Chain A
């Protein structure tokens, strides 16, 4: 983490974004702020979507990665739909998440990245969400003590069959894995 400079992050990042469909349009951002104005969570973000692009251009992506911004994106696609430069900004957010995970640059206090990782792990293992497993992985990797506060709710949900104690694997999980593997391979290419 320490070894990577913001400017080289920008370069690496742009290379990936340019390969997205419509990805080249990121170069045409006119900083109009339609994305930030439309974003339902931008008020909680440390850097608004528009500022993410400004930071990218300034070679300061590391600051963005260390902020809460990307983990607050709810994938509502408002920014993408409205962007006058047709920048697929939601996809850009995902690309940023990948970049952050790859270089292990997360916000210090925020555990959204951990949650995100835990979630994808669970889904690739079972083919669907398994709440108890997800909770286990998330709290063990973030703050194991916090799970105690959730116990009461968990017990209540278990008793009403809102969640299952044992995870269920979907049938044909191998097919899903093949699809994910193919998608990943495609993405890396």
Chain B
């Protein structure tokens, strides 16, 4: 048995609690028993120990009997532990030398057998007496209270609370999730029972909040984390990027130019708003917000990150010039890429998840061609020269893109080109019928028009043109964009035979000279775009039969799918799973056959494509007279490698830093296919852009290391709306038109879309990004308040008290399927009706059905989702009254018959019953009964095309079918969407229906369970405006009384770590939910910060060496308590 040597004088006090305890527990027997316990010198019983005379008994005994320990057996310590501790302290006994045993909640209330309950009470007292032996004196400490307050949620309750605190001269942070304050009340039309206009009474308050010097408003913000303790909270608030700064004057010019429309959340999806928007005209703050929902997949997938949705949506609005401007911001070659891009954007397009992806590439081509067709010549914008010179070697897509980017930044550019004409692979590698020369020339000329000097027939390594010479000639930097000019061989027998050519030579010959030697029966080896282009070119230069030999299957073929289709339709045969092993000549040395190994697909390789493996012994021969090799290409770098500063990679490409494009030589950067190996045009452009950025940063003296590690940007997903959207119909994408006259000639095969087709196709875009990122608003905004690159900011606030006023959300009526919400057009919920009736709502305050007719009969169904165990058991309190208000408004604004279907009419508030009487007098029909269902199945002529409300009129006992034009579902109030998350962050409990739990339902209705946090408004339970305002004020009073007291008592019941025993394992540091334990590096032990410790005991339970202990919950105390329970009889 655990015993202390010291003798104690213990007093035991047993409370009757009126008859609460004495009814079930034999107090006299308990008292008799207590007297027998060791060290107990005084035992008393009293009807109400908590009363003043009761407390006086204790005080008196402590003083007169010299008690050293006190035990009170009464109710839960939650109720009166403080009372009795204070009594002890008043009498001069340390408040912690007291123990309370609960013989009410845990005994008399839960038992009916008097004898057994008495027995239990005895054991509980014995346990307390033994425990109190081991209690130690402890001192309470005080901590100052931070004078600022935080209000979370700026609906009417939060507004009221914030204003009250601000008026008292204290600083308040008011955090609101939405872009504007006002909450649900801002959406209401009239308010019951007085029928004053919600806006008229709310907006003055909102303005006051916006202007109050003591209120710091943080809208579009959410609390992410809370730490600290009562009086000294630390709150982390994330302010979402609005993309509009405080400079916004609210003029709305941006709205008129924004091309993106979305259903308006504020109007419950009944009308639309732009991507840049303000919820309602009286919004506070009055700034606009841009609705960005992450990076659209199309934009993110594009190697050069073209702001695809931007130009697509402008096309949808017939704003072609602006669309081109958006494209050219990042892409100088819309007409070229609009023809030959492999458009990875389309594979990722989110519309494709629904039906088919947007024809993005064709739309780009359309606007580019539209410009030519309309003879428009956009002037290249020339930047002011910055005096720095950059040389670019190579005028392919990488080189020209780099030149374009740098020229627009004011650099003096010279581009050196090996051949007679610029363009690189796009010029000599891509056939006419895919990319007419005039398109190419026009766009390259336009790029060069940015003040870029072009020197053709200037190959690096020839005529003394070297890197070093250029550097010496005063170029500040050089970009090598050399491309790949060497075709790869197969390395098989017969490859050197006449008739075997490389595709690069073949295509260059065809494209640059307009003629090329072509066999009658041509085999092209390879599966990429060069192979398909070669095959189709061969057809055009006289081949009778063209085949493609590819060692894998169609699925693995890297060429653009549409090109493969076109090749097949032109008569090209494709043989899959064959790999040439020998070119066979006849006796005259003329190529006659190509022998191929048959292949099959094996395991996937690094690229994820299945690796082809030979089928032993199986061969096939194809008769040919020409073979074009289109395997792969390499850069020709022999002349460079002589320079010791340049290195080759193991793939024989030029070595350059993948992030900064730096080569081994200072001031020299490299990009394009020469670095990356063969790639697509748009990928080469991206590489060029990367080099341009690096050069610009290098020459501006910026740190290139910042280019490393791309920041992760979240993707946009389709339809991230908070409102109901009509179902999206399936719509096929536009077919790319082909020129019927082109045939197999050099004429371009694909045609451009018509304006009608383009507008329709662009209209299919879901604008999943919210904002399409076209940035036309930038020009519209005169004060320059728009910043499309804004980031979220996270602030840490210090506050002493917190008020939760996070409100509710309306019950989702779609779950009560039998009422047809979401299925039938004119079944609407109550928020939708509020907007419908509101003067600035979607109908301008007219109550109209979806087909814009005033209804002749309207039913208002009470208790939708309320008082129903299938949904919410509770009554939402406000629905009866707002339903009466709706009835009144419908009566006032239309000639409709109005039916209110109620179960019980709850008109409990001041003036409410009178309002009920008033509406009764207005001729509204009241039917007592809950609606069974709303159907469209008509049983007679007058029910045709109506919504039929089926209900038992319970006062009549008759089932009635009421044909209606409009049915309003008066849904209940449910906890806000984020309630669960908030309860976790703030340590709040949720009770009935999931609303925040108050400390006491009657006596502490605005105190949360956690100290220092108060509740206001509908987050605590459904309530109407007057009650919400009252609670807001009450919560403010609670917060102010805490703040003005200026200090909080900190309980000394904290963890402590025994220095001798601590092994320094730091397990407790990881376990502590309040970050109250730190590691002392010097002593190599963990140390508790008492101010932060909440005494939860987690560290104690987890400590492997038993070093962590908790004051007032020491082993000796708990073990002797257990002994008391077990030993007594």
B749 at the binding interface (Cβ < 8 Å): no
Q: Which of B248-256, B530-538, B589-597, B950-958 contacts A (4 or more CB under 8 A)?
A: B950-958
Give residues 840-893 of B contacting A (CB, 8 Å): 863, 867-870
The answer to whether A33 touches B951 (Cβ under 8 A) is yes
B903 at the binding interface (Cβ < 8 Å): yes
Q: Is the interface of A mostly helix, strand, loop or mixed?
A: helix
How far, in whole Å, are A150 and B405 apart by their CA atoms in the complex?
Answer: 96
The answer to whether B867 touches A86 (Cβ under 8 A) is no
B contact residues around A34 at 8 Å (CB) = 930-932, 952
CB proximity of B939 to chain A, nearest CB, Å: 11
How far, in whole Å, are A109 and B929 apart by their CA atoms in the complex?
Answer: 31
How far, in whole Å, are A77 and B429 apart by their CA atoms in the complex?
Answer: 73
User: Which of A25, A42, A84, A85 sits near B952, CB closer than 8 Å?
Assistant: A42
B818 at the binding interface (Cβ < 8 Å): yes
User: Which of A35, A38, A39, A85 sits near B869, CB closer than 8 Å?
Assistant: A85
A90 at the binding interface (Cβ < 8 Å): no
The answer to whether B818 touches A36 (Cβ under 8 A) is no
User: Which of A32, A36, A48, A82 sits near B903, CB closer than 8 Å?
Assistant: A32
The answer to whether B870 touches A84 (Cβ under 8 A) is yes
B652 at the binding interface (Cβ < 8 Å): no
B contact residues around A32 at 8 Å (CB) = 863, 867, 903, 929-930, 954
What is the chain A residue whose CB lies nearest that of B866?
A84
How far, in whole Å, are A75 and B196 apart by their CA atoms in the complex?
Answer: 50
A170 at the binding interface (Cβ < 8 Å): no
How far, in whole Å, are A84 and B818 apart by their CA atoms in the complex?
Answer: 13
The answer to whether B930 touches A33 (Cβ under 8 A) is yes
A31 at the binding interface (Cβ < 8 Å): yes
User: Which of B868, B928, B929, B959 sits near A84, CB closer than 8 Å?
Assistant: B868
The answer to whether A30 touches B818 (Cβ under 8 A) is no
How far, in whole Å, are A84 and B868 apart by their CA atoms in the complex?
Answer: 4
User: Which of B863, B904, B952 sits near A50, CB closer than 8 Å?
Assistant: B952
**A18-43 Cβ-contact flags toward B at 8 Å (1 or 0):** 00000001000011111111110011
A51 at the binding interface (Cβ < 8 Å): yes
Which residue of A30, A36, A85 has the most chain B CB atoms within 10 A of its CB atom?
A36
CB proximity of B880 to chain A, nearest CB, Å: 14
B933 at the binding interface (Cβ < 8 Å): yes
B contact residues around A51 at 8 Å (CB) = 957
Give residues 357-379 of B contacting A (CB, 8 Å): none
The answer to whether B929 touches A33 (Cβ under 8 A) is yes
A contact residues around B950 at 8 Å (CB) = 37-38
CB proximity of B956 to chain A, nearest CB, Å: 10
CB proximity of B1081 to chain A, nearest CB, Å: 61
Tell me how many residues of A have a C-beta within 8 Å of chain B.
20
What is the chain B residue whose CB lies nearest that of A32?
B930
Known: A37-B933, A42-B959. A84 touches B869 (CB 8 A): yes
Give residues 945-981 of B contacting A (CB, 8 Å): 950-954, 957, 959
**B132-166 Cβ-contact flags toward A at 8 Å (1 or 0):** 00000000000000000000000000000000000
How far, in whole Å, are A6 and B802 apart by their CA atoms in the complex?
Answer: 60
Give residues 318-361 of B contacting A (CB, 8 Å): none
How far, in whole Å, are A31 and B902 apart by their CA atoms in the complex?
Answer: 11
CB proximity of A159 to chain B, nearest CB, Å: 38
Known: A30-B903, A84-B930. A36 touches B868 (CB 8 A): no
B contact residues around A33 at 8 Å (CB) = 928-930, 932, 951-954
B contact residues around A48 at 8 Å (CB) = 952, 957, 959
B contact residues around A82 at 8 Å (CB) = 818, 870, 932
A contact residues around B951 at 8 Å (CB) = 33, 37
CB proximity of B623 to chain A, nearest CB, Å: 73
CB proximity of A10 to chain B, nearest CB, Å: 19
The answer to whether B869 touches A37 (Cβ under 8 A) is no
The answer to whether A37 touches B932 (Cβ under 8 A) is yes
How far, in whole Å, are A84 and B866 apart by their CA atoms in the complex?
Answer: 9
B contact residues around A31 at 8 Å (CB) = 903, 954
The answer to whether A50 touches B954 (Cβ under 8 A) is yes
A contact residues around B959 at 8 Å (CB) = 36-37, 39, 42-43, 48
CB proximity of A18 to chain B, nearest CB, Å: 17
A contact residues around B904 at 8 Å (CB) = 30
CB proximity of B872 to chain A, nearest CB, Å: 10
What is the chain A residue whose CB lies nearest that of B862?
A32
How far, in whole Å, are A142 and B952 apart by their CA atoms in the complex?
Answer: 34
What is the chain B residue whose CB lies nearest that of A37?
B932
How far, in whole Å, are A51 and B958 apart by their CA atoms in the complex?
Answer: 11
Known: A32-B903, A37-B931. A86 touches B954 (CB 8 A): no
How far, in whole Å, are A91 and B818 apart by their CA atoms in the complex?
Answer: 22
How far, in whole Å, are A84 and B928 apart by their CA atoms in the complex?
Answer: 15
B contact residues around A43 at 8 Å (CB) = 959
How far, in whole Å, are A86 and B863 apart by their CA atoms in the complex?
Answer: 16
How far, in whole Å, are A71 and B870 apart by their CA atoms in the complex?
Answer: 28
The answer to whether A37 touches B929 (Cβ under 8 A) is yes
The answer to whether B870 touches A36 (Cβ under 8 A) is no
How far, in whole Å, are A89 and B302 apart by their CA atoms in the complex?
Answer: 61
What is the chain B residue whose CB lies nearest that of A51?
B957
Which residue of A25, A37, A43 has the most chain B CB atoms within 10 A of its CB atom?
A37
CB proximity of A13 to chain B, nearest CB, Å: 21
A contact residues around B870 at 8 Å (CB) = 82, 84, 86
How far, in whole Å, are A37 and B959 apart by their CA atoms in the complex?
Answer: 6
The answer to whether A38 touches B903 (Cβ under 8 A) is no
Give residues 121-178 of A contacting B (CB, 8 Å): none
CB proximity of A29 to chain B, nearest CB, Å: 11
User: Which of A30, A36, A38, A84 sits near B933, CB closer than 8 Å?
Assistant: A38
CB proximity of B948 to chain A, nearest CB, Å: 12
How far, in whole Å, are A177 and B231 apart by their CA atoms in the complex?
Answer: 73
What is the chain B residue whose CB lies nearest that of A40?
B959
A contact residues around B869 at 8 Å (CB) = 25, 84-86
CB proximity of B931 to chain A, nearest CB, Å: 7
CB proximity of B361 to chain A, nearest CB, Å: 53
How far, in whole Å, are A35 and B932 apart by their CA atoms in the complex?
Answer: 7
B contact residues around A37 at 8 Å (CB) = 929-933, 950-952, 959
How far, in whole Å, are A164 and B280 apart by their CA atoms in the complex?
Answer: 76
How far, in whole Å, are A134 and B950 apart by their CA atoms in the complex?
Answer: 37
CB proximity of A83 to chain B, nearest CB, Å: 8
What is the chain A residue whose CB lies nearest that of B816?
A82
What is the chain B residue whose CB lies nearest that of A47?
B957
CB proximity of A43 to chain B, nearest CB, Å: 6
What is the chain A residue whose CB lies nearest that of B927?
A33
How far, in whole Å, are A35 and B930 apart by their CA atoms in the complex?
Answer: 9
Give residues 78-117 of A contacting B (CB, 8 Å): 82, 84-86
CB proximity of A116 to chain B, nearest CB, Å: 25
How far, in whole Å, are A31 and B928 apart by their CA atoms in the complex?
Answer: 9
How far, in whole Å, are A25 and B904 apart by their CA atoms in the complex?
Answer: 19
CB proximity of A28 to chain B, nearest CB, Å: 8
CB proximity of B1119 to chain A, nearest CB, Å: 44
B contact residues around A84 at 8 Å (CB) = 863, 867-870, 930
What is the chain B residue whose CB lies nearest that of A81?
B870
B contact residues around A85 at 8 Å (CB) = 869
How far, in whole Å, are A35 and B950 apart by their CA atoms in the complex?
Answer: 11
CB proximity of A5 to chain B, nearest CB, Å: 24
What is the chain A residue whose CB lies nearest that of B953?
A33
How far, in whole Å, are A25 and B867 apart by their CA atoms in the complex?
Answer: 14
Chain B residues within CB distance 8 Å of chain A: 818, 863, 867-870, 903-904, 928-933, 950-954, 957, 959
20 A–B pairs (Cβ distance < 8 Å), ordered by A: A30-B867, A30-B903, A31-B903, A32-B930, A33-B930, A33-B932, A33-B951, A33-B952, A36-B932, A36-B952, A36-B957, A37-B952, A37-B959, A42-B952, A43-B959, A51-B957, A82-B870, A82-B932, A84-B863, A85-B869
* 10 nearest CB pairs, A to B: A37-B932, A33-B952, A84-B868, A32-B930, A36-B952, A33-B929, A37-B952, A38-B932, A33-B954, A32-B903
Knowing that A33-B954, A36-B957 touch, tell me 8 more A-B residue pairs with CB under 8 angstroms.
Answer: A30-B904, A31-B903, A36-B952, A37-B952, A38-B950, A50-B952, A50-B954, A85-B869
Chain A residues within CB distance 8 Å of chain B: 25, 30-39, 42-43, 48, 50-51, 82, 84-86
